[in-house]
Amino acid sequence: MSKRIALGFVAMLLVVASAYASFYIAPEERTMGLIQRIFYFHVACAWAGFTAFFLCFIGNLMYVWKRQQKYDWLGVSGGEVGLAFTTVVLITGPIWAHPVWGIWWTWDARLTSTFVLWLLYVSYLLLRTLVEEPDRRALLSSLFGIFAFIDVPLVFGAIRWWRTQHPQPVIMGGQGSGLDPTMKMVFFFSAFAMHVLMVFLLAERYSLEKLQTETDFLAHEVEAQ
């Protein structure tokens, strides 16, 4: 318990530090000005979200193989936390796009793919609410989770190819734009901070799910007497 509190505290510190770094340490970007600083936050969240989904995928695979509840807890935690970070990515994208391009959404390849990713994991969580029996819920959602995660590279690939057919404005400067060394440092620090935050949130969600399941089980045992 105290380990988790410590982790939360550290995560908070790191996030605040990275925010400071984003605003005061990173140099100003030539063309876009102040709004560009949201990049450190936006992309860091995307990476953290993706790692969370990857952990969800691991949980899914392990559950199908071992059928131990703890893997289902990992799955739902990874899914929810990943979805939270991905939501932030989808919100900060337009916040950046509007001052720069004057439009809220551009069907930019990465943002669009992220949106589909978001939809996939919303479906994952929705599926969970629609299956009552816990073991069935764990198995079915794990199987869908596996399909969904395997789909992710295909989604990103397909949409990127689609955009090469109809080029659109690219959010965040695209692949080619090199990063100044200080910017790189700030970025990796932000990404690290977001990952620590992600792990903290995941651990919290995991223990919540664990507690819920154990309570339900005890309640049933009592009833059966």
What span, in angstroms and rounded, lies between the C-alpha atoms of 130 and 203? 24
The three-point CA angle 124-129-130 to 5° equals: 95
Q: What sign for the dihedral angle of Cα 193, 86, 82, 80?
A: positive
* 39 burial level (CB within 10 Å; 0-12, 13-18, 19+): buried
* Candidate list 91, 95, 147, 184; residue touching other proteins; CB under 8 A: 147
Sketch the per residue contact string, 13 through 32, with other proteins: x for CB under 8 A, - otherwise.
Answer: --------------------
* Candidate list 26, 120, 196, 198; residue touching other proteins; CB under 8 A: 120
* Candidate list 4, 66, 98, 136; residue touching other proteins; CB under 8 A: 136
**Count of beta carbons in the 10 Å neighbourhood of residue 110:** 20
Helix (H) or strand (E) holding 205: helix 181-224
Where does this chain touch other proteins (CB under 8 A) — which range of 19-27, 47-55, 128-136, 196-204? 128-136
In a 3-state reduction of DSSP, which class is residue 82?
helix
Q: How many residues lie near other proteins (CB under 8 A)?
A: 37
Based on CB atoms, which residue is closest to other proteins, 207 or 213? 213
Based on CB atoms, which residue is closest to other proteins, 30 or 220? 220
Site for other proteins in 49-68 (CB under 8 A): 64
- Which residues, listed in sequence order, are joined to residue 140 by a DSSP beta bridge? none
* Candidate list 119, 174, 177, 184; residue touching other proteins; CB under 8 A: 119
What span, in angstroms and rounded, lies between the C-alpha atoms of 24 and 4? 30
The DSSP annotation for 128-158 comes to HHT--SHHHHHHHHHHHHHHHHHHHHHHHHH
* Candidate list 8, 105, 123, 192; residue touching other proteins; CB under 8 A: 123
* 215 burial level (CB within 10 Å; 0-12, 13-18, 19+): exposed
Minimum gap (Å) between residue 67 Cβ and other proteins: 9
* Candidate list 139, 185, 199, 203; residue touching other proteins; CB under 8 A: 139
* Candidate list 12, 17, 19, 127; residue touching other proteins; CB under 8 A: 127
| Chain residues that interact with other proteins, rule: CB under 8 A | 64, 116, 119-120, 123, 126-127, 130-136, 139-140, 143-144, 146-148, 150-151, 154-155, 157-159, 161-162, 165, 216-217, 219-221, 224
